[in-house]
Structures are given as C-alpha cells and as structure tokens.
Structure 1
C-alpha cells in the first residue's frame, strides 16, 4: 500500500538535503516521480546533490535547490514562498537539517546556541513556515521531523545535541496533537528516530561504513515503510541494535523517574548489573 503523499507530481521539501539521510530521502522521492526541493548550505554541495537526485528522478521530475539557513526564520519563509509560487504548495516537508559539532556541559555557549538554532529551532521554523499552508490546501500532507535516540535516552557525552533532539521529540508530539485536533486537516506529523547511520554527521573521519551502521538508504526505506503503516514514532534499528533492545533502553530511561533512580543510571556503576539483566530481555 502506497502513502497518498508519496505520489508522482507531489512536492517534497527537504532541509539538510545535500547529504546523508536528507539526500537519500530526496533521491527516493524523486525516483517516485515527486518534485523535490533540497535546502542546505553551500552552492557546490547543493549542485552536486541536485545532479545525483536528477539522475534517478522518474520521468524527469523537477529537482530544485535553495541555499537556506534553517536557524533563520526568514530563510524558511522565503523557501516556502518560492515552492508555493513555483509549484503551488508543499505535500511533504522533511525538517532534517542537523549538526553535531560536539559539546560539554560547561563548554562554549556559542556551540550550544548553534546546535539548538539548527537542530531544534530549524524544525520549529520549518513547521511554522510550511504547516499553515499545507493545512489550508485541504489535501493529504506529511511533516517528518528528524529526531534521534539520543533525544530519548540522553546518553552522556554530547548534552547540547541531546537537548536539541529531546526538544524535537516534544515539539513533534505537540505538533501531531495539534494537527489531529484541527478540523478537516489532512496533514500528519511523524518523528523519525534513526539508529546508527553512516552519514557525514556520524562518520567521525571514517571513510568506510562500520558493520553496525545502516546506510542512509536503508534508513529511508524503513521510514517510507512506516509512513505507509501510519506510524508516528519511526524507531529505526541498525545492524547492532534491534528494536527489542531499543525498547528496553527506552523503558529503562523512563524508569529512572518512576523508580527514583539517579539520572542516567544506565551509566551509573551501582546500576550496571541491574541494567544488563533488564536489557537481556530485549536481545
């Protein structure tokens, strides 16, 4: 069964579309015959991505690019106007742009501000710019926001990224609740929760995909399958972590509150054995 939005002639807008999951999604949608607009930074990167997408586009479907800084609301408003003026509106919005330069609790505030501006505010700006017009069209539409498992289990090591992706989760849940309760709307939001994906963001200087990682293409194929199933939470496994283990990790994280354990007890030496026993039920 094919999702009605994933149809030839419909329009997809993807931020962070010049590489990684965004580029894989753009190629997937173009191969279905959708008009694709990728938004990112860097004219050379955008042109290289445009050529890749155009090479697989079904029946010469349109592929356009836009230099867009998602941390700037005016850039997103201009992007929405360009797409509407040129193609009549947007059927699928993928708020996917993200950065992960690394952070520390008492690290430079500028790094925190940039991560939040792109990863969280970029999703909010994109939704504010596009969703009202998508709703007003009165036709099926999809908003996909790219989150992260780090926004759910919040492992130690990169707090700014975790905070940004936790915010994306909370915002997308609120967005879907709002959409669900808007009379006559046909637009739905979905939270994409990737596993370990070999992208420029996660490569860490590596040139070959680790065995445990999925490719961006595998992630997008899984995303499309679960869009068609109507899932809100699109929780992706990878080659190292199956869904049952993800579920145990998520449940344990929630249990820190319910059981009044120390925060991030999964990494606390006093709870190591208890977590290992708990997690075996997901293996």
Structure 2
C-alpha cells in the first residue's frame, strides 16, 4: 500500500459527491483515512456525506465542503477548513470534472467553464495543496483524474479533450517538479479512467451499458495500481483492454512522428490503415 494511505491520515476528494469521487472517498474511508469531499452546492454533497457515515465512518471523520474548483478563493477556503479540522493533508484527489459537450467554435458557450473546472481546477488545487503537503515532510499523494480523450483526442468534444490534455501535461510537470524537490516525499499520479458509468457519462441512461465499468471497479483498479510505481494509471473497461488502448495511443503519437494528418485514425485516407494495423498487432 502507498505510504500516504495510512490509517488516521487525511484525504481530500474534489468532485466527491458522486461517481468516481464518491467511490474513491468510500474506499479511503475503508482504509481508515479521514476524508473531506468537496463538490458544488446541492443535495448531492450532503447525501454523499451520509453515504460515508452509513458505510461506518464516524461523523467526526467526514467533512463535506461546498467548493467550486473553478474559483481559487474557494479552494483556498477548502484547504483552510481541512487544515483547521483535520490537520495536514496526505492524499489529494483532483477529480472534479464536467462534460456538457462542446464544439470547435463554441456555439454552446461551454468552453470557458469546461477549462476552468476540468483543467483549471486541477492546476489551482495542486498549486494550493502541494506546497502544504510537501512542507510537512510526510509521504503524500496527489491523484489527478485525466481521460483517454486527453491523449488520443477523438473528434466530437474538443473543449473536454483540451482540458484533459492539459491535466496530463500539468500532472507530468508536477511529478517532475516534486521528484526534483529536495526532501520531498509527495508524488503525483495521472489517473486515466476508461468507460465508466457515472452521472457524467449517463446521458439519460439509467442502466449501466455492458461496455462500462462501475465507479467501484475503476477505483479498485486505481488503488491496486497505487501499490506500484506506475505514474500513468491507464484503466481498461469492458469494451477496450489495455493492449488496445496502448496501440491507439501509439498511433496518435505517430501522427506527429510520421507527419500524418491530425486525428488520422478518423481521416478517410488513413482509417482503414489504422484498422488493419490494429488487427495485425493483435493477431
């Protein structure tokens, strides 16, 4: 088990009122940590706090703080409240995110908010919490939730792709900085879920699609991976295995290395070549 996941430790989970965030908070409670979930105002965050208590957590071991990760002042207030009640943070999971849809010329008017929450929230939260975590000299862990869409950038939702690509680049830079900070015992990991059935991905569906994992399955994979030194925690699901994900990522990088058209996997001149290449690799 990662040294930061110690009994009596303190964890903060943004986007903790539902989906992967709530599943992670429940897992952390099960490991004996005190947990603060942060999310937007509404019935969901209080309902999530009750779920954690129903799971067996003492009321004094759970905090539920209303905070919009798009606002730096609210994240600073979150850090202050956690420090005052629980003390130093050992685990930070930057999981808050949104996916309302987008188009390249922003007809929907969603770009600013998506970037503020998905990318800006991770950056601001890390910038606020990481110095506090490193100052204590204790083992610490920052898990930032990215997306495969931030790596292979499929067409259809460009603002979400840009935001999650930013999370990947920022988390890589964060880990490099922490690794080179003398005496630092805090590290960062990039969490890359697959197809997970959550309120973010439900889109009107009430039953989990066969290809999706549950949040609990995804979180179990995350915490198993945290027992290793893997920085990139690339999750499979019921549709796509690890090998296929790897090949898709390699092909996407090849667009640059081989000077193919961008998003060549979906380009009419290259789509069949990609499919054939994938079949050959897997045969």
| Partner of residue 183, structure 1 | 182
Contact 1:33 1:61 in 2 (8 A): no
| Partner of residue 150, structure 1 | 149
Taking the TM superposition and a 5 Å limit, the aligned residue runs for 1:241-256 are 241-256=240-255
The TM-score, its normalising length taken from structure 1, stands at 0.97
Contact 2:17 2:45 in 1 (8 A): yes
| Partner of residue 193, structure 1 | 192
Verify: 1:221 aligned to 2:220, yes or no. Answer: yes
1:97-120 Cα deviation digits (max 9, x unpaired): 000000000123731000000000
SS of residue in 2 equivalent to 1:99 = coil
SS of residue in 2 equivalent to 1:7 = coil
SS of residue in 2 equivalent to 1:71 = coil
Moved more, 77-86 or 244-253: 77-86
Which consecutive residues of structure 2, in runs of 5 or more, have no partner in the other structure? none
The count of residues paired between Structure 1 and Structure 2 equals 282
Contact 2:70 2:121 in 1 (8 A): yes
Contact 1:96 1:146 in 2 (8 A): yes
Contact 2:18 2:199 in 1 (8 A): yes
| Partner of residue 51, structure 1 | 50
| Partner of residue 80, structure 2 | 81
| Partner of residue 208, structure 1 | 207
- CA 183–32 in structure 1, closer or farther in 2 if over 3 Å, else same: same
Moved more, 44-53 or 177-186: 44-53
| Partner of residue 70, structure 2 | 71
* Whole-angstrom distance in 1 between the partners of 2:4 and 2:108: 40
The TM-score, its normalising length taken from structure 2, stands at 0.97
Contact 1:93 1:143 in 2 (8 A): yes
* Whole-angstrom distance in 2 between the partners of 1:39 and 1:236: 24
**Alpha-carbon deviation of 1:4?**
1.7
**Alpha-carbon deviation of 1:33?**
1.2
**Alpha-carbon deviation of 1:83?**
0.8
RMSD value, Cα:
1.2
**Alpha-carbon deviation of 1:87?**
1.2
**Alpha-carbon deviation of 1:42?**
2.1
| Partner of residue 11, structure 1 | 10
Contact 1:34 1:61 in 2 (8 A): no
| Partner of residue 122, structure 2 | 123
1:9-48 Cα deviation digits (max 9, x unpaired): 0011000000000000000001111101000012411110
* Whole-angstrom distance in 2 between the partners of 1:127 and 1:107: 28
SS of residue in 2 equivalent to 1:94 = strand
* Whole-angstrom distance in 2 between the partners of 1:160 and 1:59: 40
- CA 12–89 in structure 1, closer or farther in 2 if over 3 Å, else same: same
**Alpha-carbon deviation of 1:59?**
6.4
| Partner of residue 239, structure 1 | 238
Contact 1:37 1:64 in 2 (8 A): yes
**Alpha-carbon deviation of 1:55?**
1.6
**Alpha-carbon deviation of 1:61?**
6.4
* Whole-angstrom distance in 2 between the partners of 1:18 and 1:211: 24
